[in-house]
Amino acid sequence: MEFVLTRKTGKVFEIILNRFDKRNALNSLFVQELTVAFLEADKDPEVRVVILKAIGKVFSAGADLEYLQQLQSNSLEANMEDSTQLKNLFKFIYLQKKLVIAQVEGHAIAGGSGLVTVCDMAFSVPDAMFGYTEVKIGFVPAIVMYFLLRKVGEAKAREMLLTGRLFTAEHMKKIGIVNDIIEPDKIDDYVMSYAEKIASETSANSIAVTRAMIAEIQTFRPFDAMNYAAELNARVRMHDDCKRGIAAFLDKGEVSW
């Protein structure tokens, strides 16, 4: 692929943004290639954790503005097709079966912050800045809004989406977008070690079902949510992973995931 590199190390699959000469700005081809990379990781039964990272001093500057300018002369249908590509990428990252970690080693702006927001977890270097800056150029942070509201709530999301301000990694940690801040010379080893630990200590089926539940259970009314949870609780008891895990625990042994 032209803009995306992939690398598999054991049970960990790295997806690497590689358009550093354009600050990893997103255009149609870039979004298509990212989607292909995530599909590849999701379909690989050996892959347990995905790391999303970037080459260059910027994680991602968001949408490629030159590309957006070209689209302005197109029809609504053409713009809708392009917008739907990004929506489908974010939706797939959010709903696919593998746990996804963002490794942020540079600024994540607009759509770049969107990519970080939609991941399960994020680790950042201290100097990285984040921002949903679309309103400053007459655009709207439309697609990321759904995921940001879910993660941080309306009050915090309003401040971030309506001001277009940049925020430090420390602020993003306080509100729950960033899990921890790691020094630049240590973040590669730290994130890989974190991913490998999850891959070796958790059930693939349990991760997939739990991710799906997190996405779905918030859409139900309270009693419907409880019924949904009870049904999945009962179904997962019958899965081989659960049988193996409980047997190993009772035998005071370790299960190899």
CA distance 141 to 130: 13
The tokens for 85 are: 């590509």
Residues 7-54 have pLDDT tens digits of 999 999 999 999 999 999 999 999 999 999 999 999 999 999 999 999
pLDDT tens track of the chain, all 257 residues? Answer: 999 999 999 999 999 999 999 999 999 999 999 999 999 999 999 999 999 999 999 999 998 988 888 878 888 988 899 899 999 999 999 999 999 999 999 999 999 999 999 999 999 999 999 999 999 999 999 999 999 999 999 999 999 999 999 999 999 999 999 999 999 999 999 999 999 999 999 999 999 999 999 999 999 999 999 999 999 999 999 999 999 999 999 998 888 88
CATH of 4-199, one of 3.40.190.10, 3.40.50.2300, 1.10.357.10, 3.90.226.10: 3.90.226.10
pTM of the model: 0.95
User: What are the extents of the domains in the chain?
Assistant: 4-199, 202-250
Catalytic residues: 134
Residue 17: strand pairing partners:
4, 54
